[in-house]
Structure 1
Amino acid sequence: MSLQQIAPLAYLRAAIIALTFAIGALCIASFQWICVQLLQSSPSTLYAIISTTKTHFVILLGFLTSIVNPCKIAITIDTQSVPHSQQFKVDSTGHIHTFLDPNSILISNHQIYTDWLFIWFLTYTSNLSNSVFIILKDLSKIPVLGYGMKNFNFLFLSRKWEKDKVKLTNQLLEIDANARGLGPANGVSILSSTEKEIKKWPKGTCSKSKDQAVWPYELILFPEGTVTSDRTTKKSAEYTSGKGLPPLKHVLSPRVRGLYLSLKKLQNTIEEVYDITTVYGGLQPHEYGEIKFSLKNVYLRGQGPPVVNYFIRAYKIKDIPALGAQDDEIDDSTHEQLQEFEKWLLKIWYEKDALIDGFHKTGHWQTDLSTRKIVGDFKLKNPLELVRPFLPIATIVSVLITIGYFVSVLLRSGLAEYPIME
């Protein structure tokens, strides 16, 4: 047992980290609230500030996670499909630098509840952490965090498709419109709304200028919808068996509709789909990540993955079948289109399963593709970045205290000069 895992020290460390996170999250949410109240008439400024607070959040949680669970990030890149693969590098201090294209979707297998954090960290290494959107179950009712994530415009799912599809469609079309400079972030109004309440935005792309920015996106999506467990693995096996397919050993059968809708509605702006296969060091083939690397084990006991292993491939939108036109509603997609898309996605997932199986057996990725590998630290570019989540509110509070002090001084001096007559 390491020193940091000794019970009294672990509990003390967890308490300090929890308090720091709570204060940091409150600072971020408070700053968002102030900006929302003051900047309604300046949508571009408000959008830019909210986007900046996304980076503040990943800095806050990333730093605290690196303290409680320092680990390595090992990235293997398919050099043929991933653009700018030669620009993925690690500097002399262990910092990772990647070059992900803006306007991309990142998909991955789902093993632990902090998968999204490590992938968000990847976008941070590409200076795109302020452009992240995540599709996840509805967490909007969590105090403070829920408010912040709603401001981030994260895409919450209720897991009821009839309810989710309209909301998800509108959020995706809004992301697409902003990426073209013709969305609400630039104060553009919708053209119309269909009888199904689907919002329509102007077509085309704005000419870039000081007053009309385009707002890129990095959409993180886990097609499996949940983490691997006894229950979900059994359900996945039943599904693949019903299709006459062999069971998946290490991943779950992916759900089709969420990714299909995302690709369909973003296809006019999307640059890449990054397929990320994830294997955590220290996790045996028969173990479930949600148990071994639970939130309690990671943040209380300091027992997290020593290495996060990524294998990254990329797909061009033109190579993804059966998407149809952006304006087509998903309910209008034919059974054959959905079947063709699912066949494409299942092929990727079976390849992913084979990659993970080979990694568990040999300790490295078994592939005939041309690859290159980098290994760096899960850490901030500069530890001083930790002040960023706290700085806006600290500045506002300092200014208010200073103003209050001078006002009180002026009042006292005024009363001294003109004493109250009895």
Structure 2
Amino acid sequence: MEAELKHRHVGKTNGAPVPAAQMPTKEDVLTEVHPHPSGEIKHSRYVQWFRGVTLVLFLGLSCVAIFLTQLIGSPLYLYDQDMFYAYMALTKQSFALVTMSITQWWGPTVVRISGDTSVAGQIHLTKDGRVEFSFPERIVLVANHQIYTDWLYLWWVGYANSPQMHGYIYIILKESLKHIPILGHGMMFYGFIFMSRKMAVDQPRLAHRLQKLKQEHTAPDGSKYLNPMWLLLFPEGTTVTKNGRSKSAKWSEKTGYKDPEHVLLPRSTGTLFCLRELKGTVDYVYDCTVAYEGIPRGQYGEDYFGLATTYLQGRPPPSVNFYWRRWRVDDIPLEDAAEFDEWLRARWYEKDALMEGYLQTGRFPVLPMTLARKAMSKQPFLWGLLIAARVSFVEVKEGASA
């Protein structure tokens, strides 16, 4: 059997069979056509094993410790639910710090930030050189979905926000993730929302979770308040991959809508449901267009910045690029589903144009200088950041340094 495997022929070169062991891998083909944006593999196989083992140990032990902390605090639900949710928010902060530490130590990258006039005065450099956001405590956050770890970099924004929001982020995930031992159970404690992608099944559980997120609480002085909340949505439903692009193209052909080149056509049903449920408790939808440096035209981020590539091989994205916009919920057409679908699709075509501009120039647009000067009169250290912000995870400790 061993001899048969060694001599099994699975390909041909100029008509001659090529042994399986010599067949190029997917990464070899990509590297030959498009050099990796982060260069050659930085670590040998043995160093990669060491990095993998230490990463798994750090993540595993951290998750176990956090989960045990959650179990200890779980009886609070029967005693005082407000205290229970505040306690779980602290454990969520701990997990966010773990993910940021992993990125800082195993896959450091640079984050570049820009935005339009709608976020003027909300992203700035502090006097000690850190970047700080001042987004509201209750928002719906939507973004395009380039790679599986988009959520990690967006979670960091909550950490860099003032007040810090990394304990109050809620993410909608596919249902299978909740079955991961310890990690899945921990995410259920966090109040993350798991979806089966069948709206008949998902709508009741989604409505239940959203009711929790807009529940009023009573302060000791008798005043009413809502808990902080950042609800993160990826309307595309999946990452931009060859398979995702194919599905988007088929949907485009079926519906007659233009198929964007750099993003997928968004599905509006879930986003519309969330906004309708939360209307009156959320004033703004914040939109982040995410791009990763060095991905060639027609290629996909997942092929270059997978978990092994980023955290084991030492080839994280050279930079993660954010472009921020926001819209008032009251200005979004939520009453008519068809009109909302058209509105959301138009925003995604704008994203596609932003991505095209990024591909051509390597940067998202910045505010015109005339408007920048006007904005700077209100927020003196804002637009210098928007013109040339460089936020390194290497320096992310007590706040993100720029």
Fold in common (TM above 0.5) = yes
> Any idea what SS the aligned residue of 1:309 has?
strand
Say which of 227, 245, 266 aligns to 2:278.
266
Match of 1:169 among 207, 213, 236: 207
Question: Structure 1 residues 275, 38: closer, same or farther in 2, change over 3 A?
Answer: closer
- 2:104 equivalent to 1:66: yes
Equivalents in 2 of 1:28, 1:272: separation in Å? 32
Taking every aligned residue pair, what percent have the same amino acid on both sides? Answer: 32
- Bigger Cα displacement from structure 2, 286-295 vs 121-130: 286-295
Aligned length: 343
Letter in 2 for 1:353: D
Report the Cα distance in structure 2 between the residues aligned to 1:41 and 1:58, rounded to whole angstroms.
27
| 2:228 partner amino acid | P
The answer on whether the counterparts of 2:178 and 2:187 sit within 8 Å (CA) in structure 1 is yes
User: Which residue of 1 is the match for residue 362 of structure 2?
Assistant: 363
Partners of 2:122 and 2:135 within 8 A in 1: no
Distance across 1 between alignment mates of 2:107 and 2:346: 34
Structure 1, 3-12 or 247-256: larger mean CA deviation? 3-12
Q: SS at the partner of 1:233?
A: helix
The structure with the larger Rg is 1
Q: What is the one-letter code of the residue matched to 1:137?
A: K
- Give the gaps of 5 or more residues in structure 1: 182-205, 325-336, 386-422
Q: Whole-Å Cα distance in 1 between the matches of residues 97 and 125 of structure 2?
A: 19
Contact 1:280 1:308 in 2 (8 A): yes
How far is 1:67 from its partner? 1.2
TM-score (norm 2): 0.80
Mapped pair 1:51 → 2:89 = yes
- 2:253 equivalent among 228, 235, 241: 241
What's the counterpart of residue 279 of structure 1? Answer: 291
Counterpart AA for 2:111: I
Give me the whole-angstrom Cα distance separating, in 2, the residues matched to 1:312 and 1:131. 20
Shift of 1:78: 1.1
Q: Which ranges in structure 2 are unaligned for 5 or more consecutive residues?
A: 1-38, 373-382
Which of 120, 130, 133 is matched with 2:155 structurally?
A: 120
1:224 alignment partner, SS class: coil
Distance in 2 between the 1:272 and 1:307 partners?
27
| 1:40 Cα deviation from its structure 2 partner | 2.4
- Once residues 220 and 341 of structure 2 are traced to their aligned partners in structure 1, the CA distance between those partners, rounded to angstroms, is 37
**Separation of aligned partners in 1, 2:260 and 2:220:** 47
Q: 1:22-421 counterparts in 2 under 5 A? A: 22-37=60-75, 40-79=78-117, 81-82=118-119, 85-91=120-126, 95-126=130-161, 127-138=164-175, 139-177=177-215, 180-181=216-217, 206=218, 209=221, 214-321=226-333, 323-324=334-335, 337-366=336-365, 372=383, 373=386, 374-379=389-394, 381-382=396-397
Amino acid at match of 1:42: D
Counterpart of 1:114, as a letter, is: T
Q: Distance in 2 between matches of 1:34 and 1:234?
A: 47
In structure 1, distance between residues paired with 2:196 and 2:283: 28
SS of the residue corresponding to residue 237 of structure 2 reads coil
Partner residue of 2:32?
A: none
> Partner of 1:130: helix, strand, or coil?
coil
Greater alpha carbon shift after TM alignment, 31-40 vs 45-54 = 31-40
| 1:366 Cα offset (Å) | 4.3
RMSD, matched Cα: 2.3
Q: What displacement does 1:18 show?
A: 1.2
Q: CA deviation at 1:300?
A: 1.9
Q: CA deviation at 1:122?
A: 0.6
Q: 2:167 is paired with a residue of what secondary structure?
A: helix
Q: Distance in 1 between matches of 2:94 and 2:392?
A: 19
1:223-267 CA-partner distances (Å, limit 9, x unpaired): 000011112111111222333232210100001111001100011
Q: Secondary structure at the match of 2:262?
A: coil
Is the Cα contact below 8 Å between 2:116 and 2:367 reproduced in 1?
A: no
Q: What letter is aligned with 1:297? A: T
Distance 1:368 1:376, change over 3 A: closer
> What is the alpha-carbon distance in structure 1 between the residues aligned to residue 367 and residue 54 of structure 2?
47
Distance 1:237 1:150, change over 3 A: same
Q: 1:334-389 CA deviation, whole Å, 9 max, x = no partner?
A: xxx2110000000000010011011101112247775741321225653799xxxx
Question: Which stretch of structure 1 is more off in the superposition, 148-157 or 91-100?
Answer: 91-100
Conserved? CA contact 1:75–1:310, under 8 Å: yes
1:92 deviates by: 6.7
| SS of equivalent to 2:74 | helix
